[in-house]
Amino acid sequence: MNRRKAAAAAAGTIAAGALTAGLIAVPSAFADGGTDSRDASAKRAGSAEARGVQKAAARAARAGIDWKDCPADWNIKAPVQCGWVTVPLDYAKPGGKTIKIAVDRARSTGGKDERQGSLVYNPGGPGGSGMAFPKRIPDKNPLWAKAATAYDFVGFDPRGVGHSAPISCADPQEWVKAPKADPVPDSEADKKAQRKLAKEYADGCKERSGALLAQMTTPNAARDLDVIRAALGDKKLNFLGVSYGTYMGAVYAELFPGHVRRMITDSVVNPSPKKIWYDVNLDQDIAFQTRWEDWKKWVAEHDDVYGIGATPDKIEAKWRELRATAKKDPIGGVVGPSELLNFFQSAPYYDSAWASVASVWSAYLKGDEKPLIESAGPDMSDVAGNKSSENSNAVYTAVECNDAQWPRDWKTWDRDNTRLHEKYPFLTWSNAWMNYPCAVWPLKQHKATDVRAKTAHPVLLIQATRDAATPYPGGVELHKRLKGSRLITEKDAGSHGITNLKNDCINKRVDAYLLKGTIDSKDITCGPHATPQPQKSTARAKTVAGLK
């Protein structure tokens, strides 16, 4: 899940080769027109929510979307257009209060005969905005040029995010202030202080977010997605979900299996109800440590460029020294261990951040603190950016806390995270405190959705074996739960969100799936995308890698 400050950036320049067979046509049993399109919510005895989404979708289909130039302060330029889709606040009460979902689109580049509808995108989170996705068409992103001939690219702000009735849990300017306490506790008093902060944050969500807070769930986001589909005039959904977006897609497939036309899930959240969400985060702690080790090895191999250390052990020693220095005397008065981790974790997240993070660290060791302070510290003058960051974290918290039942006993959290920290210290306690508001959540927590669906068209899953944010077993688990799906494995790679990286083995299959609906006769393993190359620039990492 793309859940922290890190943001995806492009990576990879050399195509990797396929290790197995070519493409085949989809069996006729999965042809677009030949499958029962009933809402799977009928399994739930015609629930109020199922009836509500049907009514909302019918209204949206009649209303359509009034596309116009985007508001100037949205920073979305023509030819991308913006609009709104109205959805119920509570799908059990479709005639009650409503909220507006912000959407945008870029029109397809092909002729009328080539057009296949809209491709809707979610980048992850929970709390991520997809509004930048349509820019891939006017920006002429080469990886998406073929898909752009057939689809309008559509982005949206999910409920509670950005322009879509945004929620909040804390004052944004207060929330970004630094330095924050070291997430690794030295004492029981430290743990108690962190638990107090989490309780205050959870209570703040209830105080600041109103009636929408209880309706911030993945099933409701999936229902919104179906209403957006109807408003776009598409009989079935074409969807690309990355990170948490894969879980949104999985839940959509469970609720609306007959509405799936094309669905790609990239970097897959483990959808098992036993994993959502507490165990998902514990698994993530282990995977982040693995990818942190990969990055240290790469930095050591390029010691001639960075001068941080010639072995992973020496780099680990430097990291611990940096943390200790920042804890004793925060760098620039604002960068302590917590801020360091927020910045450095982008390297395990994305290969595209490997060089820029190493460059910033290298500059610091050579006496230039400015790149590190600017990259890891808050920018108090960026009021809009801070508001967006706090909103994203609020949505993350609300959705994960509402979606599933979390352990309420502090002893469980203390036992599990203490144990994990011994072997996997990089992220464990930071992840624990980020999620601890769910242990003291003031609202009802639901049972996680049990995804087990046969969709109208096979879902295409894409997963890297060394992904830190969404560990590989998640892709395997969703594959088991979506009948007829196909899994593409990127072996010996670990960047998060890989459909936007250059790897011919993957790229050509994405194009074939979107353009012709074809999939392989069996699951495919691809080689890795290109290994990042070092850079000597010490430019600010938030400019180079988009990390804030």
Catalytic residues: 243, 467, 496
Residue 251's contacts (CB-CB under 8 Å, 6 or more residues apart) are 218, 219, 221, 222, 271, 449, 451
Torsion of CA 398, 399, 404, 409, to 10 degrees: -30
**What amino acid occupies position 48?**
A
Count the Cβ atoms, other than its own, within 10 Å of residue 77: 11
**What amino acid occupies position 272?**
S
Residue 435's contacts (CB-CB under 8 Å, 6 or more residues apart) are 277, 278, 281, 400, 406
Among 389, 284, 351, residue whose Cα is nearest residue 500: 351
DSSP 159-210: TTSTTSS---SS-HHHHT-SPPPPSS-SSHHHHHHHHHHHHHHHHHHHHHHG
Count the Cβ atoms, other than its own, within 10 Å of residue 517: 17
Residue 72's contacts (CB-CB under 8 Å, 6 or more residues apart) are none
Distance, CA of 158 to CA of 367 (rounded, Å): 43
146 and 112 in contact (C-beta within 8 Å)? no
The DSSP letter of residue 532 is: P
Distance, CA of 30 to CA of 26 (rounded, Å): 7
Among 288, 286, 283, 345, residue whose Cα is nearest residue 477: 283
DSSP collapsed to 3 states, 467-516: CCCCCCHHHHHHHHHEECCEEEEECCCCCCCCCCCCCHHHHHHHHHHHHH
Among 211, 223, 237, 255, residue whose Cα is nearest residue 116: 237
Alpha helices in 378-442 (DSSP H): 383-403, 410-423, 428-435
Most distant CA pair in the chain, distance: 67
Structure-token match 């600017």, residue found = 374
Tokens of 242: 């990355």
Beta-carbon-side half-sphere exposure of residue 378 (alpha carbons within 13 Å):
23
